[in-house]
A and B are shown apart, each in its own frame.
Chain A
Amino acid sequence: MKDKRLENMRRDYKEIRIPAELRGRVEAAMERAKTELAKEQIPEKLSQKRESPATDWEKETEAAGVFSKGTERREGMKAGKRESRKRSGFVVWATRIGGAAAAAMLAITVLANSSATVAYAMEDIPILGNIVKIVTFRHYESQDNSMQANIKVPEIQVENPEGQVLEETTEELNRRIAEYTDAIIAQYEADVEAADGEGHQSVDLDYHVITDNDKLFSIRFDQLLVMASGAQLVKIYHVDKTTGEMIDLDGLFQEGADYVTAISENIKIQMKERMEEDEMLAYWLDSDMPEWDFKEIRRDATFYVNEANHLVIVFDEYEVGPGYMGSQEFEIPTDVVKDMVKEGYLES
């Protein structure tokens, strides 16, 4: 049954008058974008030569507001200069035929916010997000009698959609990775020295990009340390591609949300289910060593977001159960945290 009211609104919507100049405005925007894109292909030196002498940008904005068509053409000729301020796109469009003065005012008001304006719009468009890539890696290899290490350290670069490197995040990410890997290497070297040729040890560290979707980039490090027995340790670093910053687990959730309890309780239920299904599994839960029992996850627990966009919490070997169980992962149903998670990271 079609609702009468909705039908009427729909009709009114369909009758919204399309101004005659719309087509022309659309074509102008396409042309301008194409011209600018073509200019960007020209090597920088060339396009710099084409620049007209520097003029006050705000004055130009006013002009753009007052004389729409004429300015349009002049701007085209100066496209080389525009490159340096292409983020201010919105300003240029403040072209109003009537009410010239008002338009000029508006143009200047918008200018102050224009880069934030663009940034905001970009934020919600996933395919335009920041880009994170592994540019190179270092390889630490060592073999000493029966001790060996094989450690791969990636170097990562975070770029905004325009291809500029976001120095701060790039540095922080690489620094944190280096801290982690250097500690492993230092420990290995100390062990080699202490063992004085008698030791048996093997350290392997490898990495994988486990998530690279619209929202998140996550890189996972798996360290396998074999001495008498082995230890499996996992470390994962995440970059929020929309902000270009690194985030920890609490970055996924709204401020003040008690995700720790929600997730921990769910994990306990899953632990019990798994133990019921498989009697070989023994998580530290309601055991006779209460102080060892799993109580709750750390606020910065190791996690990743899997292909289904579900949160997965990762525990190192020994963290929640005996060593033979290796490292353990729990997929958390999104329902459990749906009122706390920030938009866009997880799906149900």
Chain B
Amino acid sequence: MKQEAIQKRVEEQILDSYEALYRLAFTYVHQEEDALDIVQESVYRAMKSAGQVKEERYIRTWLWRITMNTAIDFIRKNRRETVVEEIRETGTQDQYQDFDTVEALEVLSEKEKAVVVLRFFEDRQIQEVAEILNENINTVKTILYRSLRKLKVELTKGDLSYEG
């Protein structure tokens, strides 16, 4: 595929999915300004390196991945600065139990968060989630089960393929 054509597709894909990318970023940082910075940075990185995308079918996966990495990256670099904010409510272990918002995802690791968001909130197929995380399908399934257990979500067997 021609470079200009790829570039064009990357642009289209960005315009198509920037809101979803923002939500993912927000889930990580819980702050509008930070999430905006992350999306802006991710879009910039994606555009600058569009020339290195070999196949069109990777574009979407790749955008998700850049955003996820940029968000994680951002958190790590800013952890020291936000440490004060992170001391939220001190509570019992079950503090999230009656708290059915995206904040509840805070019990999850960075990777687990991405898996839950992509699979259950963004309705991505497990295969695609695996591609975004660069993991194999079984690993992603394991992460999903573990995340749901942590979130105290009880699904009956077979519900990993559930469409919300």
A pairs with B: yes
Residues on B facing A (Cβ under 8 Å): 11, 14-15, 18-19, 22-23, 26-27, 32-33, 36-37, 39-41, 43-45, 47-49, 51-54, 58, 62, 65-66, 69-70, 73, 77-78, 81, 100-102, 104-105, 117, 120-121, 134-136, 138, 148, 151-156, 159, 162, 164
Task: Check A22 against B65 for contact (C-beta < 8 Å).
Answer: no
Instruction: Please give the distance in Å from A2's CB to the nearest CB on chain B.
Output: 7
Given contacts A29-B47, A128-B49, 19 further A-B contacts (CB under 8 A): A4-B100, A6-B155, A6-B164, A9-B120, A10-B120, A10-B121, A12-B102, A13-B23, A16-B27, A19-B32, A22-B22, A23-B18, A26-B14, A33-B48, A37-B48, A37-B51, A89-B44, A94-B37, A127-B52
Task: Check B100 against A93 for contact (C-beta < 8 Å).
Answer: no
Task: Check B154 against A93 for contact (C-beta < 8 Å).
Answer: no
- How long is the Cα–Cα vector from A259 to B138 in the complex, in angstroms? 22
Task: Check A121 against B66 for contact (C-beta < 8 Å).
Answer: yes
Q: Which 4 A-B pairs give the minimum distances between C-beta atoms? A: A33-B47, A8-B100, A29-B43, A12-B101
Which secondary structure dominates chain A's binding surface? helix
The interface on chain A, measured as residues whose beta carbon lies within 8 A of the other chain's beta carbons, has a size of 56
Query: Which B-chain residue is minimally distant from A13 (CB atoms)?
Result: B121
Q: Is A187 an interface residue (CB 8 A)?
A: no
Task: Check A1 against B102 for contact (C-beta < 8 Å).
Answer: no
Residues on A facing B (Cβ under 8 Å): 1-10, 12-14, 16-19, 21-23, 25-26, 28-30, 32-34, 36-37, 86, 89-90, 93-96, 106, 109-110, 113, 117-118, 120-121, 124-128, 161, 214, 343-344, 347-348
- How long is the Cα–Cα vector from A9 to B36 in the complex, in angstroms? 22
Which residue of B47, B49, B70 contacts A30 across the interface (Cβ within 8 Å)? B47
What A residues does B40 contact at CB under 8 A?
Answer: 25-26, 28-29, 93
5 contacts between A and B (CB under 8 A): A25-B36, A28-B40, A89-B44, A90-B41, A124-B65
Task: Check A32 against B44 for contact (C-beta < 8 Å).
Answer: yes
Query: Which A-chain residue is minimally distant from B164 (CB atoms)?
Result: A10
- How long is the Cα–Cα vector from A248 to B109 in the complex, in angstroms? 31
Instruction: Please give the distance in Å from B52's CB to the nearest CB on chain A.
Output: 5
> Contacts A36-B48, A106-B81, A125-B66 known; A5 to B33 CB distance under 8 Å?
no
Query: Which B-chain residue is minimally distant from A309 (CB atoms)?
Result: B136
Query: Which B-chain residue is minimally distant from A344 (CB atoms)?
Result: B134
Instruction: Please give the distance in Å from A284's CB to the nearest CB on chain B.
Output: 35
Task: Check A89 against B102 for contact (C-beta < 8 Å).
Answer: no
Which residue of B18, B26, B105, B136 contacts A9 across the interface (Cβ within 8 Å)? B105
What B residues does A8 contact at CB under 8 A?
Answer: 100-101
- How long is the Cα–Cα vector from A98 to B145 in the complex, in angstroms? 41
Instruction: Please give the distance in Å from B84's CB to the nearest CB on chain A.
Output: 13
